[in-house]
A and B are shown apart, each in its own frame.
Chain A
Amino acid sequence: MGIAQTAPRPLVEFTLSPLGDEHGIPLAIMGILVVFLALTLILAFISMLPRLLARFAPPAAQPGAPPLAAVDDRVSEELVVVIAAAVAETLDKPHRIVSIRGLTPAELGWSLEGRMHHHQSHGLRPRNR
């Protein structure tokens, strides 16, 4: 009566049969689809998020946004808006209004401005030209 000889188990076994099982290729395809679907839905949601927030929530001030311009109490809100619009129209490029204040009589601002305007209208040139 001989003892049954069992063949030594190879270090690496190779078989294609599990691939066709329920836990083979079908599971792999399902897994890939779920990952892509979840991340695609997140993508779609993120893409819509700024518009959704703009509709349902007022925009919050950005933490890195520049501070509002310091405005003199004597300057009315309407005047601030007009000045801001004039600056935007004149500069026509990104800018930041740091402060707006009314000039005191001592500064003779209007007189100075008028004088400068007057001189420029004469087309003055430097003497050495």
Chain B
Amino acid sequence: MNYLTIKAGQLFEATALAGMEVGNLVMILFGIGFIYLAIAKHYEPLLLVPIGFGVIVGNIPPVAGMSLSVYDEGTVLRYLYFGVEKGIYPPLIFLGIGAMTDFSTMLSNPRLILLGAAAQVGVFLTYLGALTLAFTPQEAGAIGIIGGADGPTAIFLSSRLAPELLGAIAIAAYSYMALVPVIQPPIMRLLTTRDERLIRMKPSRTVSRQERIVFPVAAFLICATLAPGAIVLIGMLFFGNLMKECTVTDRLALTARSAMIDVVTILLGFCVGASTNAQHFLQAKSILIFVLGALSFAVATACGVLAAKVMNLFLKDKINPLVGAAGVSAVPDSARVVHMIGQQEDPQNFLLMHAMAPNVAGVIGSAIAAGVLWSQLTN
């Protein structure tokens, strides 16, 4: 009997149950929640399914003597996590985003670019807010970029400036991107009148192929000259876009926007999820990061809407201020939300293509903001 008890004890010690803590259980529930939201509610399923499953995997406690987690040297997860830790995956995702982004809406209505810039004010206001909460400047920079609503950018900057917060920042960024349809509409309605929401904008002009080819090269030169820190992200974004628009590299563009971005998204999402081990993730700082991230997102949305209202004071052809909310670079979710809110007021008002202009400008703006923060805070 004693022998059996000892063997049972040894068997128990050899299972993950022995090291399971309440924190791990909480995180596993988080992971299941993400998967539920992705499958049942269709909230960013391409991101939340890999992240959610990664969270579950990352919170299975290791057995004594066995190294399995992303934090243990020599493990498979550690090698996969290398791409996150060294900031390799985000630029590759930007390459794919560039190869699937159509900048023609922005080229046809350039004034809407300013809305993409205005939304980035939220990044820097949150940066200041994080500083007042005793985060270091590097941590504050990584937290502020959550307001850019760009997961790869947030992961890239966090891996450069505050690797210890990477898990919390990545989860916060992707959670808020998934919650765009929940977070943005109340702010948009609060800051606009019904008459403003009813504004119909003029249809965009046709953009020539030459313009679409010249744009990525010229825009890269402008951005890289002003913010060299943004070269990695912006360079890959515009390189991908050039491959798409020049039409002579269709095979490369197709791979970049399909197979390659899918592979990298799977690896990135899974590894980020697996890095949210309860012992590393469940800290007071993580809660603050989530609060500041939500604040950053809300402020960025508000700044975009308010900027559109200010621009309307000077413009003859008015801008529907809802479009300003798409200045956060959650492509194309925030543009879809703008379209949806606009159609609730006027079912014949089609704002989607107009909203895509600040949306893609926001991608450029958040990458520049990340470049500035990286270059200034890296030392």
Contacts and interface: CB of A to CB of B under 8 A. Distances in A.
Nearest to A47: B110
A63 B373 CA distance: 41
B128 A49 contact: no
Interface in A6-58: 11-16, 18-19, 21, 23-25, 27-32, 34-43, 45-47, 49-50, 53, 57
Interface stretch (B43-51, B54-62, B205-213): B205-213
A46 B107 contact: yes
B211 A53 contact: yes
Contacts of A31: 123-124, 127, 369, 372-373, 376
Nearest to A36: B117
A23, A31, A59: residue with the most chain B Cβ atoms closer than 10 Å: A31
A41 B365 CA distance: 12
B348 interface: no
Contacts of A94: none
A91 interface: no
Nearest to A65: B206
Contacts of B263: none
Interface stretch (B81-89, B222-230, B317-325): B222-230
B114 A28 contact: no
A63 B209 contact: yes
Contacts of B368: 34-35, 38-39
B132 A39 contact: no
B185 to A, nearest CB: 25
Contacts of B206: 62, 64
Interface residues of A, number: 40
A46 B357 CA distance: 13
Nearest to B377: A23
A42 B117 CA distance: 11
A85 interface: no
Interface residues of B, number: 44
B296 interface: no
A11, A39, A49, A64: residue with the most chain B Cβ atoms closer than 10 Å: A39
A28 B125 contact: yes
A42 B364 contact: yes
A4 interface: no
A50 B223 contact: no
A27 B222 contact: no
A53 B116 CA distance: 26
B288 interface: yes
A35 B372 contact: yes
Contacts of A49: 107, 211, 214-215, 218
A75 B121 CA distance: 63
Contact of B215 (A13, A34, A46): A46
A12 B211 contact: no
B120 interface: yes
B171 to A, nearest CB: 20
A103 interface: no
B128 A24 contact: yes
A18 B131 contact: yes
The 6 closest A-B pairs by CB, nearest first: A13-B134, A23-B137, A28-B124, A46-B110, A39-B117, A18-B131
Interface of A: 11-16, 18-19, 21, 23-25, 27-32, 34-43, 45-47, 49-50, 53, 57, 59-60, 62-64
5 contacts: A16-B132, A18-B137, A28-B127, A35-B372, A43-B111
Given A16-B132, A60-B210, 8 more contacts: A19-B131, A31-B372, A32-B120, A32-B124, A34-B226, A35-B120, A49-B214, A57-B210
